[in-house]
Structure 1
Amino acid sequence: MRLSQKVRLLAGVLVPMLALTACSGGSGSGAGGGGEQVKVTVWSWDGTVERAVPGFQAANPNIKVEVVNAGSSQDEYKALDNAIQAGSGVPDLVMFEYFAVPYFAVPGKLTDLREFGVDKLKQDYVPAAWSDVTVNGKVYALPSDYGPSAMFYNAATLKKAGIEEPPATWDEYYEAAKKIRALGDDYYIAQDTGDIFFLLSLIWQAGGRPFKVDGTKVHIDFTDAGTTKAVAFWQKMLDEGLINTKITGWSDDWNRALNDGTLATQTMGGWLTSTLPERAPKAGGDFRVALMPQWQQGDKVGAANGGSSFGIPAAAEHKEAAFKFLEYFTHGGGLATRVDAGAFVPNTSVLENKEFQSKANKYFGDQKTGVVLAEATEIVGSGWQYPPFFEWARSIYGDLASPYYTTGKGSLAEILEQWRQRCIQYGNEQGFQVD
């Protein structure tokens, strides 16, 4: 999922799932197995999770599940921290964006799920998603949805500019941007007003690994070869006026530009497949989805943009029962229900399913978008890390980047260096060893 946006799969796709044997197996009070009632409280802003509750409660009548929207992203994390500090009101299961897992895991606020035998579930996840929930060799959450980066493009606009095929490389993307810009003042290949997740996905794909985390030690460097290459490329796009820096993502202007075709591409998480039809209904039949352009012709390397997981707080009261439900909606009978409701999951048993891959999407010109998104998920580059305090870092980046996008003074490299210095200061103040 893209921050507070719901992550969805192709609407109407219902795939038969591999129901894995529950591995919690506990029958004590925490699991609700002795005839006593146990109430599991789940904090989630993903509406598909609640869809799995009826089936789970039917199979586990002694466990009552209450799903609470405690606020999306930052609001939820703050509420959880407050509950942990107060020693009361701690939920049994909590939704986390992948980058937020280390923030709670490193200080010991999450349960290591290996005690429930989760290692055997690893094989049903694409490697990048499993890596996202693993911190210092321990597994603190199970992936529930995913956002592989993909390029959504308006084929009609590209054709109008004389481009028959979507750009397969970033060099081709640059040339396409100039042709699209030549169509008129309102035409751009993309927009950007300081989206750190897009920039990081570009860096990620280029092989940059600016954050290196080892326990409480964090190293931040935006000068490695991959990072430098990605930043320089996007700086060139901005300097030459090929990117619209006036339209903010998720705004009414953004919807309008997507609708009328003046915004030709959008490189985002795969979840845009279902969000785009709602925002640009007039462009139905024109849009398609492709892998991110590559840095070298013939390469197939990707990145991620968004996605979420669920972990069990260390202070949770009903851990065994919570894990039963967690496994149910990420691997058991509840998974198919969530997929049908719109969840885009990183489970290989879904992504490799023939029905998922062969489903034609009418909005995307009857393209079999599932095939593209499945491949985009499989090729996400390995080794990416977020610092444990990225929840704070992402918010401060917007403050630092805003002046550049409004005045044009400065550069992305300068912004990143300012960001690095602020992160070092903040991280050290929080007790980490940051350099």
Structure 2
Amino acid sequence: MRLFTKAWTAGVALATAGALAACSGAGGAPSSAGGGGGTADDPVKLTVWSWDGTVELAVPGFEKANPGIEVEVVNAGSSSDEYQALDNAIQAGSGVPDLVMFEYFAVPYFAIPGKLADLGPLGATELEADYVPSAWNNVTIDDGVYALPSDYGPAVMFWNEATFAKAGIKEAPATWDEYYEAAKKIRALGDDYYITQDTNDLFFLLSLIWQAGGRPFEVDGTTVHIDFSDDGTQKAVAFWQRMLDEDLVNTKISAWSDDWNRALNDGTLASQNMGGWLTSTLPERAPDAKGDFRVSLMPQWEEGEKVGAENGGSAFGIPEAAANKEAAFTFLEYFTHGEGLQPRVDAGAFVPNTSVLDSPEFQDVRNPYFGDQKTGEVLAEASNIAAVGWQYPPFFEWARSTYADIATPFYTSGEGSLAEVLQTWQERSIEYGNEQGFTVD
């Protein structure tokens, strides 16, 4: 079977077919050059690739507790740059780091052809109980554990209570029907007022589909099924199409832009459905809205339900070609589960560990920016109710870039429909996956 034989396209490096052969040895005994560690005079030296600055905070405590291991944390660039550099290093047979950070959707790309070590034999399976189910689902493929979750993005709604009150709405919408009615009332406040914005936000759309029960991607090894026609997907897409058709969503303001900051700051953009990680950055983007914003669960499709989804998150894995697997796992366990976790949480990392999320220290703290709300309670619940069973195709890094190209005309000029965008995306993804040697239908 020919797998991963083309050059990087749209930022995705594709390894040689030889990488697939390594899959048979992915679950074998770890090949650590120095066992768990060396000595203080001759330490094992680990290289960690990460764009998460909180990981470095765990290094001093780890090195003190493990004098036979030294850790260097290197920022290898953006996620796409890092993935490309890792594939290049694996193909070259040199320069492979000991630990690498991945967005959850990128784990299958590296795990399925055997480029990541199965962490089960190193002790990862014993840690499952400390992670919320959906986060653990993100790092397990078939019977293997190929990474440990390091940060998380439960989908929640950030809403401006003052703007909602101005529109006569006293509480956060509990259902998407209520959200629709709220959107109309907020839109009636004036030309600049919208309940939210969307300029081609794939991960929001997927979280909407995810929560509605849609499962458009099914992956079994190298066999991939892509289908956006299931009931959950259709329900979510039809709802969002209605919101767009009725001009209830601002399609001119892009997230992370200066205009976005201004609209959040002055209240004309009344809410955002995003990952819980926005809790730490919203105060910087909308300082004048201090005391106005609140955090709530995503609206539900049926009244009384409590079903969530994800919007972002990352994990760390150990390349199969890494020389110091045991030492690498010792550090991985330390900063994702052990004593190195708290310094990262104190610095603002949002982690999916139940030991953190269920603790009074996390849930009982009142957040002055959010009107002294106990935001931790909401974020913990959102993390625990995120539905399991979601999968990403192993070529999703390519697919998300392609989606942007397909969807842009729809958002900028109203060409076609959201359903047509997804149909085209499905067709191109199937074609691409088969070209890469997968069996995709």
CA distances 1:342-371 after superposition (whole Å, capped 9, x unpaired)? 111111000110121000000000000000
Q: Indicate conservation of the 8 Å contact 1:41/1:67, yes or no.
A: yes
Deviations 1:8-49 (A, max 9, x none): xxxxxxxxxxxxxxxx99997142245631110000000000
Of 224, 239, 246 in structure 2, the residue corresponding to residue 233 of structure 1 is 239
Written as runs of structure 1 = structure 2, the 5 A alignment for 1:112-151 is: 112-151=118-157
Unaligned runs of 5+ in 2: 1-28
Q: Quick check: 1:406 aligned with 2:421?
A: no
Determine if contact 2:58/2:335 at 8 Å carries over to the other structure.
yes
Summarize the alignment of residues 272-421 of structure 1 with structure 2, pairs less than 5 Å apart. 272-421=278-427
One-letter amino acid of the counterpart of residue 205, structure 2: L
C-alpha separation in 2, matches of 1:236 and 1:337: 44
Instruction: Tell me the distance in 1 between the aligned counterparts of 2:32 and 2:430.
Output: 46
- Do residues 110 (structure 1) and 116 (structure 2) align? yes
Over 4 Å off, 4+ runs:
24-28
Check conservation: 1:339, 1:345, Cα contact below 8 A: yes
So what's the TM-score if we normalise by structure 2? Answer: 0.92
Residue 194 (structure 1) aligns with: 200
Distance in 1 between the 2:358 and 2:227 partners?
37
Paired residues of 1:28 and 1:34 also in contact (CA < 8 A):
no
CA contact (8 A) 1:149 1:267 kept: yes
Tell me, what secondary structure is at the counterpart of 1:367?
coil
How far, CA to CA, are the matches of 1:402 and 1:25 in structure 2?
46
The answer on whether the counterparts of 2:32 and 2:327 sit within 8 Å (CA) in structure 1 is: no
1:44 touches 1:69 (CA, 8 Å); kept in 2? Answer: yes
Q: State whether residues 32 and 323 of structure 2, in contact with CA within 8 Å, keep that contact through their aligned partners in structure 1.
A: no
The total of aligned residue pairs comes to 412
CA pair 27-313 structure 1, distance change in 2 beyond 3 A? closer
CA–CA separation in structure 1 for the residues paired with 2:168 and 2:153:
30
User: Partner of 1:244 in structure 2?
Assistant: 250
Q: Is the 8 A contact 2:119 2:145 kept in 1?
A: yes
Q: How far is the alpha carbon of 1:235 from its aligned partner?
A: 0.1
Is the Cα contact below 8 Å between 2:104 and 2:312 reproduced in 1? yes
Instruction: Say whether residues 1:78 and 2:84 are aligned partners.
Output: yes
CA contact (8 A) 1:39 1:65 kept: yes
> How many Å separate the matches in 2 of 1:411 and 1:298?
31
Q: Which residue matches 2:169?
A: 163
Q: 1:265 — aligned with what?
A: 271
Distance 1:170 1:27, change over 3 A: closer
SS of residue paired to 1:29: strand
Partner of 1:31: 36
**3-state secondary structure, aligned to 1:96:** strand
| Structure 2 Cα separation of the partners of residues 434 and 415 of structure 1 | 19
SS in structure 1 of the partner of residue 340 of structure 2: helix
1:244 alignment partner, SS class: coil
Question: C-alpha distance in 2, partners of 1:326/1:124?
Answer: 14
For residue 267 of structure 1, report the CA deviation from its aligned partner.
0.2
Deviations 1:292-347 (A, max 9, x none): 00000000000000000000000001111111100000111101111111111111
Checking the alignment, whether the CA contact within 8 Å between 2:293 and 2:371 is kept in structure 1 is: yes
Contact 2:153–2:275 (Cα < 8 Å) also in 1 = yes
1:52 is aligned, of 46, 49, 58, to 58
Q: Which runs of 5+ in 1 are unaligned?
A: 1-23
**How far, CA to CA, are the matches of 1:344 and 1:101 in structure 2?**
19
What is the rounded CA distance, in whole Å, between the counterparts of 2:35 and 2:399 in structure 1?
36
Q: Give SS of 1:289's match.
A: strand
Percent identity reads: 75
User: Does the aligned pair in 2 maintain the 1:30–1:317 contact within 8 Å?
Assistant: no
- CA distance, structure 1, for counterparts of residue 260 and residue 157 of structure 2: 16
Structure 1 201/238 Cα, relative in aligned 2: closer, same or farther at 3 Å? Answer: same
Higher RCO (CA 8 Å, separation ≥ 6 residues): 1
> Which residue is equivalent to 1:220?
226
TM-score if structure 1 supplies the norm length? 0.93
Does structure 1 residue 429 correspond to structure 2 residue 426? no
2: CA distance, partners of 1:421 / 1:107: 23
- C-alpha contact (below 8 Å) 2:33/2:323 kept by paired residues: no
Counterpart residue identity of residue 124, structure 1? D
8 A contact 1:27–1:34 mirrored in 2: no
Shift of 1:72: 2.0
RMSD: 1.3
CA distance in 2, matches of 1:405, 1:232: 15
Using the TM superposition, give the Cα deviation of residue 81 of structure 1 relative to its aligned residue in structure 2, in angstroms: 0.6
Residue equivalent to 1:183: 189
